[in-house]
Amino acid sequence: MTALARLALTDLRNHAALTIAPGPGLVLLTGLNGSGKTNILEAVSLLAPGRGLRGATLSEMARSDGPGGFAISARTIDEQELGTGTLAAAPERRQVRINGASGSATALGDYLAILWVTPAMDRLFVEGASARRRFLDRLVLAREPGHATHASRYEAAMRARNKLLAEPDGADPGWLAALEAGMAEHGSAIAAARIGTVERLGERLTAQAEGPFARAGLALDGWAPAPEDGQTALAHELRAGRGRDAAAGRTLAGPHRTDLAVTHLGKAQPAALCSTGEQKALLLGIVLAHADLVAADRRARPILLLDEVAAHLDPLRRAALLDRLTDAGGQVWMTGTDMAAFGPLPAAATSIDLGQ
């Protein structure tokens, strides 16, 4: 099991200094709006690769009336020391420390797997594809930590290619070919990892019995690798599309054009056409099933961050959620304005009241 034994925040959002010693199971953060509950979840989410559960810039996270910069440090139950933050002199440059040594943000995925559900994700199935891709990649990353490296290198190569294609005197063919080879290498790895996660998770969801959390059907939509060798096929597609991409001002083929399609299996209906409550139940069902899949694959349960999770859930589903989280084990951080919305908590749960 993966869990935090200690979390310390310095000058993050509204927290000048805060230290929490959570238990290994349920961790409930309560308090009025503006007390900083979600800020704590954001801090935990930054102990994994990526920009955290809000997707905010680093400079936004530093306390507005602080000295500049912020720090997050944590110790896991197996005595790993992890930390991240920024310096006032470089507010957009992320610093990472792993067991006392400098590290990279992508390396954090080797130590912690973290999944989250936030109120901003309530419209995940009805808004644009980019949010669903980020959600999909978070699922993949929890299973395969190396996914973060492939994603960052693919994005860097694509940005360089787009810039090169925009050169008024034409792009250097040799440099373009090198960038496209990098995109093909990392893009094919991204696509393969997504396919594997969707297939494994889809099988688990389909096999589940009907219950309070609707069973979701998963599929990849939009761009998909050719049936032949994915790396070779993507390199060819990029090379053939240079003129088209130069005219469009962006790359029109690759895994950044893939979408995650979700259906309500019980109703044979796209998730986007379901009610708000059904969509929340579908989302929770996917995350809970994926937590089980990650536990099976990595022999350690991911940390779950559930922000205002009781919203849009009826009493039956709220009770079922608490029962399932308790039975599954693992560390789960939840927020709410008061404890009453969750009902009786297990005796081993950690409850922290942030007040105002």
Q: What pLDDT, in 10s, does the model give residues 6-38?
A: 999 999 999 999 999 999 999 999 988 889 999
Q: What is the DSSP string of 280-342?
A: HHHHHHHHHHHHHHHHHHHSSPPEEEETTTTTT--HHHHHHHHHHHHHH-S-EEEEES-GGGG
CA distance 85 to 166: 35
Q: What pLDDT, in 10s, does the model give residues 156-172?
A: 999 999 999 999 887 78
Nearest to 61 by CA among 33, 97, 30, 93: 93
What's the whole-number mean pLDDT along residues 174-192? 96
The answer to whether 69 and 62 are in contact (CB under 8 A) is yes
CA distance 12 to 83: 13
Report pTM. Answer: 0.95
| C-alpha distances in Å from residue 214, one per residue of 61, 132, 284, 291 | 35, 18, 9, 16
As to burial, measured by CB atoms within 10 angstroms (0-12 exposed, 13-18 middle, 19+ buried), residue 97 is: middle
Enumerate residues 6+ apart whose C-beta is below 8 A from 206: 215, 217, 265
Q: What pLDDT, in 10s, does the model give residues 80-128?
A: 999 999 999 999 999 999 999 999 999 999 999 999 999 999 999 999 9
The answer to whether 262 and 273 are in contact (CB under 8 A) is no
CA distance 138 to 121: 13
> Binning pLDDT at 50, 70 and 90, where does residue 61 land?
very high
Flag whether pLDDT at 309 surpasses 70. Answer: yes
- Three-state secondary-structure class, residue 4: strand
> Binning pLDDT at 50, 70 and 90, where does residue 63 land?
very high
Q: Which token pair is 60? A: 């936004």
CA distance 35 to 38: 9
Q: How many CB atoms lie within 10 A of CB 169?
A: 5
Flag whether pLDDT at 224 surpasses 70. Answer: yes
User: In the chain, what percentage of residues exceed pLDDT 70?
Assistant: 99
